[in-house]
């Protein structure tokens, strides 16, 4: 009986009072905003403290006699002392991260209040400055969660984007990230290959297109991350009726930067010329029936497991340039090989 919460009738009546509810919402907004401000202030203070710790360690190491006396064992010995004085959290590995933080970011203002310590620790794993700069800028601009940052780093997003560019393009990508002003045409948003390792599908398993669609919708947040900047999910199995015949496109998106619909059809195997003709039909329908004034023509992407480039070239001859055939890969790429290829472009 003690656990039963009794709500009086007059309390319920007060809860239904619009003016009282408005007052409650205002107070809740103030409290939530204050909590967010406190959390941001605490994060900034912690990150600054760790940066200063790294700075003091580096400056201490730079004394010749200290380097000779302690050598590589400095952080281990320092960690033992700090564990006694402060407690957990200042062992060898954390002190190493703080030292690395200062070395990689000698100007604290570049990350002040923008990233959490957990995000920074992930970025510190990337030794290549160009690659690290890219992930840092995109993480801040797109408000990536820690999980999203890890996924993009593990999938080699920077390298996959950089391999399609010349040296100047790679440098711009690293220093500016993916700038929305650079997205001006369909080719700027459609990739030749999409990585869907997050679905956890075995490479040899034959999966139905409906199952692939369900898995992508179930993992839509991650799929949007893979699609890139500007994509908004609208609907699955979008229906169209043409001359009393019914058709469905697997996934329908809208691109907020290009201001157009993006239609995606999924194929479990190799795409055929019939699939291309069908997508062209869908694009014609959207251009004439769905597109409104101020919008741009729709984009069609056929996402298949395999792609015959020559067949695609002939099958799309004379067709709408907004029709693309892309592949999806089930396994993570070899990051080191991709990194080496990007270095060759830059050098």
Q: Where are the beta strands (DSSP E) in the chain?
A: 193-195, 231-242, 245-255, 260-270, 299-306, 323-329
Among 99-113, 142-156, 277-291, which is the least confidently predicted range?
99-113
**8-state DSSP, 107:** S
Mean pLDDT, the chain, whole residue set: 87
Distance CA 88, CA 218 (A): 39
Q: How many CA atoms within 13 Å lie on the side-chain side of 63?
A: 9
Cβ burial 229-264 (10 Å sphere, 16+ → b, else e): bbbebeebebebeeeeeeeebbbbbbbeebebbbbb
What is the percentage of the chain residues whose pLDDT exceeds 90? 54
Best CA proximity match to 264, nearest among 227, 292, 228:
227
Residues belonging to the chain: 347
Residue 50: CB atoms within 10 Å: 21
Distance CA 35, CA 33 (A): 5
**Tens digits of per-residue pLDDT, 132-191?**
999 999 999 999 999 999 999 999 999 999 998 889 989 988 888 888 888 889 999 999
Phi and psi torsions of 254, nearest 5°: -130, 135
Q: Does residue 246 register a pLDDT over 70?
A: yes
pLDDT of residue 7: 47
Q: Does residue 16 register a pLDDT over 70?
A: no
Q: Does residue 86 register a pLDDT over 90?
A: no
Instruction: Please tell me the pTM assigned to this model.
Output: 0.80
Which stretch, 2-16, 35-49, 63-77, 262-276, has highest mean pLDDT? 262-276
Q: Does residue 112 register a pLDDT over 80?
A: no
Q: Does residue 124 register a pLDDT over 90?
A: yes
Q: Does residue 240 register a pLDDT over 90?
A: yes
3-state SS, residue 307: coil
Pairing of strands 193-195, 323-329: parallel
């Amino acid at each position: 009986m003690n656990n039963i919460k009794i709500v009086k009738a007059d309390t319920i009546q007060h809860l239904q009072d619009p003016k009282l509810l408005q007052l409650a919402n205002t107070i809740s907004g103030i409290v939530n905003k204050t909590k967010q401000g406190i959390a941001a202030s605490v994060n900034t203070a912690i990150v600054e403290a760790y940066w200063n710790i790294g700075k003091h360690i580096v400056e201490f190491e730079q004394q010749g006699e200290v380097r000779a006396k302690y050598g590589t064992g400095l952080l281990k010995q320092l960690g033992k002392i700090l564990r006694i004085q402060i407690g957990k959290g200042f062992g060898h590995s954390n002190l190493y991260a703080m030292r690395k933080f200062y070395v990689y970011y000698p100007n604290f203002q570049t990350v002040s209040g923008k990233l959490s310590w957990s995000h920074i620790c992930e970025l510190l794993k990337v030794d290549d400055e160009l690659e690290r700069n890219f992930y840092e800028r995109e993480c801040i601009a797109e408000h990536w969660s820690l999980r999203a940052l890890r996924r993009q780093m593990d999938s080699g997003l920077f390298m996959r984007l950089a391999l399609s560019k010349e040296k100047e393009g790679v440098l711009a990508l690293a220093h500016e990230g993916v700038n929305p002003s650079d997205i001006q045409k369909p080719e700027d948003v459609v990739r030749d290959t999409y990585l869907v390792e997050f679905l956890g599908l075995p490479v040899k398993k034959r999966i139905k297109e409906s199952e692939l669609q369900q898995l992508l919708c179930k993992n839509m947040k991650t799929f949007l991350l893979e699609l890139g900047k500007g994509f908004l999910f609208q609907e699955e199995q979008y229906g169209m009726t043409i001359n009393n015949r019914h058709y469905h496109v697997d996934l329908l998106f809208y691109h907020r930067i290009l201001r157009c619909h993006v239609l995606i059809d999924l194929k479990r195997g190799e795409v055929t010329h019939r699939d291309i003709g069908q997508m062209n039909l869908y694009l014609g329908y959207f251009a004439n029936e769905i597109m409104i004034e101020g919008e741009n023509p729709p984009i069609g992407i056929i996402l298949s497991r395999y792609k015959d480039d020559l067949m695609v070239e002939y099958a799309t001859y004379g067709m709408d340039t907004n029709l693309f055939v892309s592949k999806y890969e089930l396994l993570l790429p070899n990051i080191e090989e991709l990194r080496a290829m990007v270095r060759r472009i830059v050098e």
